[in-house]
């Protein structure tokens, strides 16, 4: 397991992605899966940067653990900002036409669609959001990453 402590700023997104991608380098995950993981990391980290400590900034911890057999990765995001459960938010209606489409909530919706598991807990004053992604396409659960 590896951990990165970093200030929750949008400007630090590249550092977070580099940290995650370095861990994925030794696995044989496809470019597509890597893109989906980058996407989830961006959406979650940017959410923390925008909202967790608004209008101040604060620290975040990103933890990454690749399963020993390389079959899956678990990424955990921890902040001690405002308690916020992104999973409690209703999914956006993706069937309505452009004029009435709302863009809010689309980021976390994308995370739900592309990751195999996502969990939230609020513990000891900290938001803890964990995502899991299978790294081999054949072991994807039905409906995930479609």
Residues that bind another protein (CB under 8 A): 10-11, 13-14, 31-32, 35, 38-39, 42-43, 46, 94-95, 97-99, 101, 103, 106-107, 109-110, 113-114, 146
DSSP string, 20-66: HHHHHTTS---HHHHHHHHHHHHHHHHHIIIIISTTS--EEEEEEEE
- Which C-beta is closer to another protein: that of 31 or that of 68? 31
Residue among 35, 41, 51, 34 nearest 13 (CA): 41
- Which C-beta is closer to another protein: that of 123 or that of 146? 146
Supply the minimum distance, in Å, between the C-beta of residue 69 and another protein: 25
Other beta carbons within 10 Å of 79: 23
- Asked if 128 contacts 76 with a C-beta cutoff of 8 angstroms, the reply is yes
- Which C-beta is closer to another protein: that of 50 or that of 126? 50
Residue among 31, 50, 53 nearest 42 (CA): 50
Supply the minimum distance, in Å, between the C-beta of residue 38 and another protein: 7
Supply the minimum distance, in Å, between the C-beta of residue 92 and another protein: 8
Supply the minimum distance, in Å, between the C-beta of residue 40 and another protein: 10
- Which C-beta is closer to another protein: that of 95 or that of 124? 95
């Amino acid at each position: 397991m590896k951990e990165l402590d970093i200030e929750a700023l949008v400007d630090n997104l590249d550092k977070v992605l580099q940290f995650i991608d370095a861990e994925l380098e030794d696995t044989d995950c496809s470019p597509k899966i890597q893109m989906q993981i980058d996407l989830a990391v961006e959406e979650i980290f940017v959410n923390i940067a925008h909202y967790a400590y608004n209008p101040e900034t604060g620290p975040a911890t990103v933890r990454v653990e690749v399963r020993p057999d390389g079959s899956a990765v678990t990424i955990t995001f921890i902040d001690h900002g405002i308690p916020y459960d992104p999973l409690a938010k209703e999914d956006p209606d993706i069937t309505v036409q452009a004029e009435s489409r709302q863009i809010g909530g689309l980021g976390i919706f994308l995370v739900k669609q592309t990751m195999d598991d996502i969990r939230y807990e609020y513990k000891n004053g900290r938001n803890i959001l964990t995502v899991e992604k299978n790294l081999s396409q054949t072991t994807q659960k039905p409906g995930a990453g479609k």
